[in-house]
Amino acid sequence: MLAPLAVALTVGCGGARASPGDAAWWTELAQPPPAADAWPLAAVAPADEEAQAAAPAWRPARGAQGEGSGVCHDASGEAWRPLAEPPPADFTARVLARTAPGETEAYGLAFRYNGTDDYYLARVDTRNDHVRLYRRSAGATTLLAARNLGVSVGQWHELAVHAAGSSLAVALDGEPLLRVADDDLRAGGLALWASPGTRVCIQGLWLAPSRVAEGAARG
């Protein structure tokens, strides 16, 4: 769980905004995601009543792509929804998400996820207006990078994550925000995350192998 963040949080010093010299690093994120990279979100939400009863926080939802193309978190509690298949070691992942007004409005995409004690988390908070990148390793949480900016509630935003070896990056709506080098976690899966009380719908998820080598990403 992410709740210990408020209790034991180490702030990392590796966060940095991308510079014009990082053009190669951000080329993939600046392009619209190819339709072929779309992940079937219907497979993320429980399909039958028995499975939904075991994981009531997530439910199928209708998105712009048609019936069953999205999933929503109904604020019933903190929830992780791992994807069934791990991504390539180097990859770009994107999610299109929209929060509803509430006491909490935080969601994110975890990557190199190996259970709730080991992962990276790209986290968006539309109530407190920030984007953050966390690492949780052996149960300890570290804030690697953060950016304060206005993130509107009730509108769709595309959160993008790029991982190439130790180089990690986060973008929101095509704008590069966070870039760090961290090699603590090198492999793992993907998972959707929503904080307790957050109502968020995810309309699309795209996943593709990275076409930018680690050396180029570091510039």
Using one digit for the tens of pLDDT, what is the confidence trace for 1-49?
443 333 233 344 444 444 433 565 567 667 778 888 887 776 665 555 5
**What domain range includes position 105?**
3-14+38-210
8 Å CB contact between 123 and 117 = no
What CATH number corresponds to the domain at position 161? Answer: 2.60.120.560
In a domain, 216, yes or no: no
Residue 33 lies in a domain: no
Give the model confidence (pLDDT) of 164-213 as tens digits.
899 999 999 988 999 999 999 999 999 999 998 899 999 888 988 876 54
Question: 163 is written with which tokens?
Answer: 């991982």
Contact 131, 147 (CB under 8 A): yes
Check if the beta carbon of residue 178 is closer than 8 Å to that of residue 26.
no
Band the pLDDT of 113: cuts 50, 70, 90.
very high
Does a structural domain hold residue 30?
no
- Is 59 domain-assigned? yes
More confident residue, 162 or 29: 162
